[in-house]
């Protein structure tokens, strides 16, 4: 019985990582650049563990822009923050948003966004 319990705990550990979740993304073209607004949720506990940024990437994983989040959002979940002035390469029709936290780093999941 104890062996089964320990196996479950060890297997469940990685699944319980507190990577921020990208809940929604809005993109708006502003002249030659874009404005990206991202809504994140994360169980921020304070300065010791909080969502500290999100990034815009192309399909090859190249970073296009990063929005640094300068403080925790303990009592404000989910929350939305924007980044303006993003220059996207001509012909790009899809971007990917990844979120990070100050403890677990970048999440592996990429939220795809079609550009209009």
Question: Which sequence spans correspond to the domains of the chain?
Answer: 2-114
Whether the CB-CB separation of 23 and 40 falls below 8 Å is answered with yes
Q: How confident is the model at residue 97 (pLDDT cuts 50, 70, 90)?
A: very high
Q: How confident is the model at residue 12 (pLDDT cuts 50, 70, 90)?
A: very low
Residue 17 confidence (pLDDT): 61
Buried-state track 61-100, b at ≥16 Cβ within 10 A, e below 16: eeebbebebeebbeeeebbebebeebebeeeeeebbbbbb
Residue 92 confidence (pLDDT): 93
Please state, rounded to an integer, the average pLDDT across all residues of the chain.
Answer: 86
The CATH T-level fold of domain 2-114 is Immunoglobulin-like (2.60.40)
Which pTM value belongs to this model? 0.81
Residue 53 has pLDDT above 80, yes or no: yes
């Amino acid at each position: 019985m104890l062996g089964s319990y320990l196996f479950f705990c060890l297997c469940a550990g990685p699944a319980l990582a507190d990577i921020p979740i990208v809940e929604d993304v809005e993109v708006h073209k502003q002249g030659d650049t874009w404005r990206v607004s991202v809504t994140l949720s994360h169980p921020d506990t304070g300065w010791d563990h909080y969502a500290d940024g999100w990034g815009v990437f192309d399909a090859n994983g190249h970073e296009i822009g990063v929005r640094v989040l300068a403080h925790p959002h303990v009592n404000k979940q989910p929350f939305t923050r924007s980044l303006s002035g993003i220059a996207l390469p001509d012909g790009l029709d899809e971007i990917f948003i990844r979120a990070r936290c100050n403890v677990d780093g970048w999440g592996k999941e990429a939220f795809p966004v079609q550009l209009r």
